[in-house]
Amino acid sequence: MHRVFVYGTLLRGEHNHGTMAAARGRFIREATTAAGFALFDLGSFPGMRRVVDGRTVIGEVWDVDAAGLLVLDRLEGHPRFYQREWITLCDGEEVQTYLIDAFGCPAIPLGDWRTHRRTSRSL
């Protein structure tokens, strides 16, 4: 199995979450990255990249098999758009996630896509 951290449209309740079913994903838990990651608004979806400060990103951890990982890779455009890489969560667990060079895009405060979407809609 492959342990994957998701932080945007693949989260439960978000518009690409059905892809987790197609990937035969199994929800493990909510999680937060270790310091050194930030979330950015790319329009209808977010992107995460490494940063040199103490920011973190909130998301979920899922298990998928090898075929499921390929489903996620196709959705994320790996390796041309997002790049799948290993990261560390705040509890020290090593997982894979999708990172992107989101330079020039607005940062998402608190590293929380769901909160950002709710507050953006109310503006």
| pLDDT 10s digits, 15-39 | 999 999 999 999 999 999 999 999 9
The answer, yes or no, to whether residue 123 has pLDDT greater than 80, is no
- pLDDT tens readout for residues 54-103: 999 999 999 999 999 999 999 999 999 999 999 999 999 999 999 999 88
Q: Would you give the DSSP letter of residue 34?
A: P
CATH number at residue 87: 3.10.490.10
Query: How many domains does one find in the chain?
Result: 1
pTM for this model (two decimals): 0.95
Residue-range definition of the domain harbouring residue 62: 2-122
Q: Would you give the DSSP letter of residue 111?
A: G
Cα pseudo-dihedral 45, 15, 10, 98, rounded to 10: -30
Q: State the catalytic residue, choosing from 14, 30, 60, 76.
A: 76
The answer, yes or no, to whether residue 121 has pLDDT greater than 80, is no
Cβ-based neighbours of 47, under 8 Å, separated by 6 or more: 8, 39, 40, 82, 99, 100, 102, 105
The answer, yes or no, to whether residue 122 has pLDDT greater than 90, is no
The distance of Cα 39 from the centroid of its chain, to the nearest Å, equals 9
| Interatomic CA distance for residues 71 and 13, integer angstroms | 19
pLDDT at 90: 98
Query: Is 93 assigned a catalytic role?
Result: no
Are residues 65 and 22 in contact, defined by beta-carbon separation less than 8 angstroms? no
